[in-house]
A = this chain, B = another copy of it.
């Protein structure tokens, strides 16, 4: 039965575990195989060409595990590689961009939507393009926030430095009277309390991880691929590197223990090309 197959999820590193965390709640019976490309993380500072190449390799690793669906739990890979992935592979594939866009369009009252992400995600222009396609009257305010990922990985989730950096990056959103901001990076849900504090109650934050998990449920249902409700889910976490501090950071992102964690041999990763 294909319904008993796992859902595959990949990201450039640990960030995608925020999406898995939400999937554990939204589709609790699904087996999940997660691949984090920690040997080559981050993707957010790299070119479209390289990100596309890496994303194809990541998907191939998941396909070796006979997944029934792929979740691209990485904003950079979604922004840059969604087209080549759907063209190359014949199974349902979902990214983290469209669910956030849909939620932002529902949330905004004044049509002024901010988007924050890595430099690559923002310079790809994917969010403004897709928002404009959905509703040409929406005004989009994109802002790259390159220091948020290293600050989150340093564990400075509630640090005064992080607040100051947030004020620098996000200061103009209030001025532009933006009422909705899409968190366009899987690391950012960890910073949500701090960002809410900096931005105040008049701005709604859209958590793409949460929205993506809901979209996964819908897509599985639409393709009649939902696991049997009696299935006891098993989860596997694969990474291309297990550096110092990985488990600690990963468990913070996932919100629970990383039980079955193993390393994909870097040579076998390379041979999938």
* Bound CA span A203–B202, Å: 48
A259 in contact (CB, < 8 A): no
User: Chain A 245-263, CB within 8 Å of chain B: the 1/0 string?
Assistant: 1000000000000000000
A232 in contact (CB, < 8 A): no
* Contact B161 A154, beta carbon cutoff 8 Å: no
Q: What are the residues of chain B within 8 A of A18 when measuring CB–CB? A: none
* Contact B161 A46, beta carbon cutoff 8 Å: no
* Bound CA span A240–B45, Å: 13
* Contact B266 A50, beta carbon cutoff 8 Å: yes
Give how many copies assemble into the complex. Answer: 2
User: Chain A 105-145, CB within 8 Å of chain B: the 1/0 string?
Assistant: 00000000000000110010000000000000000000000
A273 in contact (CB, < 8 A): yes
Q: What are the residues of chain B within 8 A of A63 when measuring CB–CB? A: none
Nearest CB to that of A37 among chain B residues? B40
- Report the minimal beta-carbon distance from A44 to chain B, rounded to whole angstroms: 9
- Report the minimal beta-carbon distance from A59 to chain B, rounded to whole angstroms: 16
Taking a contact as CB atoms closer than 8 A, the residue among B46, B165, B245 that contacts A119 in the complex is B245
A53 in contact (CB, < 8 A): yes
* Bound CA span A146–B245, Å: 13
Nearest CB to that of A272 among chain B residues? B270
Q: What are the residues of chain B within 8 A of A198 when measuring CB–CB? A: none
A4 in contact (CB, < 8 A): no
Known: A47-B242, A123-B244. 10 other contacts (CB 8 A): A38-B46, A39-B46, A41-B45, A47-B241, A53-B266, A119-B244, A119-B245, A147-B147, A149-B150, A150-B150
Question: 9 interchain pairs (CB within 8 A)?
Answer: A38-B46, A39-B46, A40-B40, A41-B45, A46-B241, A47-B241, A49-B241, A119-B245, A150-B150
Residues of A within 8 A of B (CB): 38-41, 45-47, 49-50, 53, 119-120, 123, 146-147, 149-151, 153-154, 161, 164-165, 168, 240-245, 266-267, 270, 273
Instruction: Rank and list the top 8 A-B pairs by shortest CB-CB distance, nearest first.
Output: A150-B150, A50-B241, A47-B243, A40-B40, A39-B50, A270-B270, A46-B243, A47-B241
